[in-house]
Amino acid sequence: MRHRQMLGGALAALIVCAFAFDQVSVGAQGQGRGANAPMPAGVHAMKAANGAMVLADGTMMTLYTFAKDTPGVSNCNDNCAKNWPPLLAAPDAKPMGDWTIITRADGTKQWAYKGMPLYKWMKDAKPGDATGDGMGQGAWKTAAP
């Protein structure tokens, strides 16, 4: 019995380690793996189901950019924002490095990476999904770190 418990514990540790290799977590200090590039707390770089490295929110859902946006301006509002929820920033959030904060048409704050506003896709069902990549005749792309 003791042998089974030890084996079960070792298996759980292996699973945790394997998951850790597929994501780069960013904590409150805002530092990514080896890059010394600041990121907002809760944002991650991870490997999507398609194998590409992408940015993800705090729930590990893939983030996207929209080709119809311009640096610092979101053009995804109303129904668009229902399908592509913006990555909202806290009212007291501060820009850092390549991460800026834009003010949306409705007055809310949204994170932008290298000037481009970031969004989630409502049809991504689980962490790592990147089903929105290429949607809208290619206008939606996964955000890469």
Residue 50: give the domain boundaries: 2-142
Report pTM: 0.76
User: In the Cβ-directed half-sphere of 103, how many Cα atoms lie within 13 Å?
Assistant: 4
**For a pLDDT cut of 90, what percent of the chain falls above it?**
66
Q: Is pLDDT of 9 > 50?
A: no
Rounding to the nearest 10 degrees, give the CA dihedral for residues 18, 22, 28, 33: 110
User: Residues 13-62: pLDDT tens digits?
Assistant: 333 323 332 333 333 333 343 345 788 988 999 988 888 899 999 999 99
Q: How many domains does the chain have?
A: 1
Summarised one tens digit per residue, pLDDT across range 65-124 is 999 999 999 999 999 999 999 999 999 999 999 999 999 999 999 999 999 999 999 999
CA distances from 96 to 17, 37, 59 (A): 29, 9, 21
